[in-house]
Amino acid sequence: MISPVSMLRFYVFISFMCLARADTGETCPSFTRLSFHSALVGTGLNVRLMLYTRRNVTCAQTINSSAFENLNVTKKTTFIVHGFRPTGSPPVWMEDLVKALLSVEDMNVVVVDWNRGATTVMYNHASSKTRKVATVLKEFIDQMLAKGASLDDIYMVGVSLGAHIAGFVGEMYHGRLGRITGLDPAGPLFNGKPPQDRLDPSDAQFVDVIHSDSDALGYKEPLGNIDFYPNGGLDQPGCPKTILGGFQYFKCDHQRSVYLYLSSLRESCTITAYPCDSYQDYRNGKCVSCGASQNQSCPLLGYYADNWKDYLREKDPPMTKAFFDTAEEKPFCMYHYFVDIITWNRNIRRGDITIKLRDKAGNTTESKINHEPTTFQKYHQVSLLARFNQDLEKVAAISLVFSTGSVIGPRYQLRILRMKLRSLAHPERPQLCRYDLVLMENVETVFQPILCPKLQM
Ligand SMILES: *[C@@H]1O[C@H](CO)[C@@H](O)[C@H](O)[C@H]1NC(C)=O
Ligand SMILES: *[C@@H]1O[C@H](CO)[C@@H](O)[C@H](O)[C@H]1NC(C)=O
Ligand SMILES: *[C@@H]1O[C@H](CO)[C@@H](O)[C@H](O)[C@H]1NC(C)=O
Ligand SMILES: *[C@@H]1O[C@H](CO)[C@@H](O)[C@H](O)[C@H]1NC(C)=O
Ligand SMILES: *[C@@H]1O[C@H](CO)[C@@H](O)[C@H](O)[C@H]1NC(C)=O
């Protein structure tokens, strides 16, 4: 007969065993998950630091200034700082970003989980906590330095509000932090603020920024040594244009900055950006030589942007804007070509050009150059910037369509003396030419290009 007392003991024992297992067991700490209810009532600030290393790519260790666990201070340490969380859910890209960073370099990745604080429907409440998060990070980094870490090896990737948090930390170290990457730094309540109240180029040895939603959630003006404006920085291809797109309508453009950065870590293609004063000038093909010498390659977006660090910091002021277009989905890369056209129509012609390339295997890729009508003037060469989703190595056929956009009235012809196609990403590839061609308006003209004669001016 089992007495009630021994029954009780048994239960206590079992409960104890369960607790003990939970304490030492296999469960990995994970990013704070809150409900929408928390967002409605608001949350008090609590900053958790979670360490990931190559030894533990999928399982975090909670660390703090007195418990470093596997954090090896002689290695590079990358902090990922998220932004405003209006629903309380963990950022969907966090796990991918951690893995991608660890896949390219043996480093410490520290996820700064301030979900308690960032979760609120009131953006200004989250924003008001950014200084406090920065102070917590400063305390932690101070301990790292005390243990022998170097500020040169500290890298912060800040998303939205997180970008300004990174800026505040950097400012407390007078710009000696190694690097800050701002992914669409938050605009509301920060636009127009003086440098000490936002991310700015003096916050780290190198500051690079991607602006993907600068007309809504993101910051408008440049904030770093280099500011990348994908597709002009306002609206991103593939994102919903209307509220019918649901929740994506609000965050897709903003989040694209993170996906572009991610793509720099894991895709085979690299996204090249073109330093330029405006998106318009970039689209018009005015900004394709990068840097001081023709020799210099153009800056790369994302993780490897710091290859350009020394050059960018020498400029006065040390700030550069860079533009590029992307595809709708990952890996986002586009391949830039110049289409040089010389015409001999007696009168000036204005219109758009659509160019299609095909290789022997039958792959095709198309570029519409229609952001503004091109002016073709007798014997003047115009250089059009064409952007393709695919990079066909050996082009077997080219097709061109000329269009003035008018549906009524006369159909025009464009008399081409010479057209030349040259790859910007691969200037060493042979340039392709075609001479004496007449394009009938809106009629596709297909031809086989020939190699351009060498040494042609
Ligand atoms: C991985 O992380 C878990 C959970 O924090 C920890 O218990 C374990 O010791 C770590 N493993 C290694 C190899 O560091
Ligand atoms: C730091 O973490 C250790 C181990 O998780 C914990 O025992 C300690 O209380 C923490 N210290 C602070 C100051 O939070
Ligand atoms: C810390 O990292 C350095 C450099 O990568 C390495 O030489 C050293 O063995 C590491 N220390 C530990 C305890 O893993
Ligand atoms: C161009 O780059 C190559 C290789 O990086 C270098 O050897 C050469 O000196 C450079 N030329 C100029 C004009 O800068
Ligand atoms: C072209 O097509 C072939 C066969 O369909 C395919 O294997 C290849 O990946 C394609 N190349 C490009 C650049 O898309």
Q: Is 1 in the pocket of ligand 5 (CB under 6 A)?
A: no
Atom from ligand 2 closest to the CA of residue 64: 1
Same domain, 117 and 68: yes
- 225 class by beta-carbon count within 10 Å (0-12 exposed, 13-18 middle, 19+ buried): buried
Which ligand minimizes its atom distance to the CA of 296? Answer: 4
Task: Report which residue type is found at 280.
Answer: Q
Question: Is the omega angle on the peptide bond into residue 331 within 30 degrees of 0, that is, cis?
Answer: yes
pLDDT digits (tens, 9 = 90+) for 120-129: 999 999 999 9
Nearest to 183 by CA among 154, 151, 156, 201: 156
Q: Mark which of 291, 324, 357 sits at the end of a domain.
A: 324
CATH code where residue 400 lies: 2.60.60.20
Domain count, the chain: 2
- Asked if residue 74 lies in contact with residue 107, where contact means CB atoms within 8 angstroms, the answer is no
**Is 184 assigned a catalytic role?**
yes
Q: How many angstroms separate the alpha carbon of residue 427 from the centre of ligand 4?
A: 14
Query: Could you tell me if residue 6 is inside a domain?
Result: no
Determine the angle formed by the axes of helices 130-146 and 161-172, rounding to 10 degrees.
50
Same domain, 273 and 406: no
- Asked if residue 53 lies in contact with residue 108, where contact means CB atoms within 8 angstroms, the answer is yes
| Tokens standing for residue 185 | 């730094």
pLDDT digits (tens, 9 = 90+) for 169-209: 999 999 999 999 999 999 999 999 999 999 999 999 999 99
Region of residue 303 (phi > 0: left; psi between -120 and 50: alpha; otherwise: beta): alpha
Query: Could you tell me if residue 16 is inside a domain?
Result: no
Which structural domain, as residue segments, surrounds residue 397? 335-451
Nearest to 212 by CA among 251, 268, 180: 251
Identify each DSSP E strand in 344-404 by its residue range.
Answer: 349-359, 364-376, 381-388, 395-403
256 C-beta neighbours (distance < 10 Å), count: 25
Q: Is 46 in the pocket of ligand 2 (CB under 6 A)?
A: no
List all residues 6 or more positions away from 46 whose beta carbon is below 8 Å from its beta carbon: 32, 114, 116, 117
| Tokens standing for residue 303 | 């993780």
334 C-beta neighbours (distance < 10 Å), count: 22
Q: What's the confidence (pLDDT) of residue 410?
A: 73
Same domain, 271 and 341: no
Q: How many angstroms separate the alpha carbon of residue 113 from the centre of ligand 1?
A: 19
Q: Is 143 in the pocket of ligand 2 (CB under 6 A)?
A: no
Same domain, 130 and 55: yes
Same domain, 56 and 111: yes
Which ligand minimizes its atom distance to the CA of 70? Answer: 1
Burial 9-45 (b: 16+ CB within 10 A, else e): eeeeeeeeeeeeeeeeeeeeeebbebeeebbeeebee
Same domain, 111 and 207: yes
Q: What's the confidence (pLDDT) of residue 286?
A: 86
Query: Could you tell me if residue 24 is inside a domain?
Result: no
Question: Is the omega angle on the peptide bond into residue 194 within 30 degrees of 0, that is, cis?
Answer: no
User: What secondary structure letter does DSSP report for 297?
Assistant: P
Tell me the C-alpha distance between 253 and 235, whole Å.
6
Nearest to 62 by CA among 77, 72, 75, 52: 52
Q: What are the beta bridge partners of residue 340?
A: 383, 420
Q: Mark which of 324, 353, 371 sits at the end of a domain.
A: 324
Atom from ligand 5 closest to the CA of residue 359: 1
Enumerate residue ranges in the chain where pLDDT < 70.
Answer: 1-26, 244-246, 291-296, 409, 455-457
Atom from ligand 3 closest to the CA of residue 106: 5
Q: Mark which of 324, 351, 377 sits at the end of a domain.
A: 324
Query: Could you tell me if residue 315 is inside a domain?
Result: yes
Query: Could you tell me if residue 9 is inside a domain?
Result: no
Same domain, 109 and 256: yes
Q: Tell me the pTM.
A: 0.86
For residue 86, CA distances in Å to 30, 44, 74, 115, 126 come to 19, 14, 37, 10, 9
Same domain, 256 and 359: no
Sign of CA dihedral 57, 61, 65, 70: negative
Query: Could you tell me if residue 29 is inside a domain?
Result: no
Judged by DSSP in three states, 207 sits in strand
Same domain, 146 and 92: yes
Same domain, 421 and 277: no
Mutate to test the pocket of ligand 3, among 72, 75, 76, 102 (most ligand atoms within 8 A of CB): 72
Q: Is 330 in the pocket of ligand 3 (CB under 6 A)?
A: no
Query: Could you tell me if residue 187 is inside a domain?
Result: yes
Q: What's the confidence (pLDDT) of residue 12?
A: 39
CATH code where residue 254 lies: 3.40.50.1820
User: What secondary structure letter does DSSP report for 419?
Assistant: E
Length of the chain, in residues: 457
Task: Report which residue type is found at 205.
Answer: Q
153, 184, 208, 306: which is the annotated catalytic residue?
A: 184
Which ligand minimizes its atom distance to the CA of 75? Answer: 3
Q: What's the confidence (pLDDT) of residue 5?
A: 43
Residue stretches of the annotated binding site: 198, 200, 203
Query: Could you tell me if residue 329 is inside a domain?
Result: no
127, 160, 403, 423: which is the annotated catalytic residue?
A: 160
- Among protein residues, the one whose CA lies closest to atom 11 of ligand 3: 72
Atom from ligand 4 closest to the CA of residue 295: 1
Same domain, 126 and 53: yes
- Among protein residues, the one whose CA lies closest to atom 7 of ligand 2: 67
β-sheet with 108-114: strand ranges across? 56-63, 46-53, 108-114, 77-81, 154-159, 179-183, 206-210, 226-230, 320-324, 274-275
Q: What's the confidence (pLDDT) of residue 245?
A: 63
Tokens 């000490």, residue located: 196
Same domain, 381 and 233: no
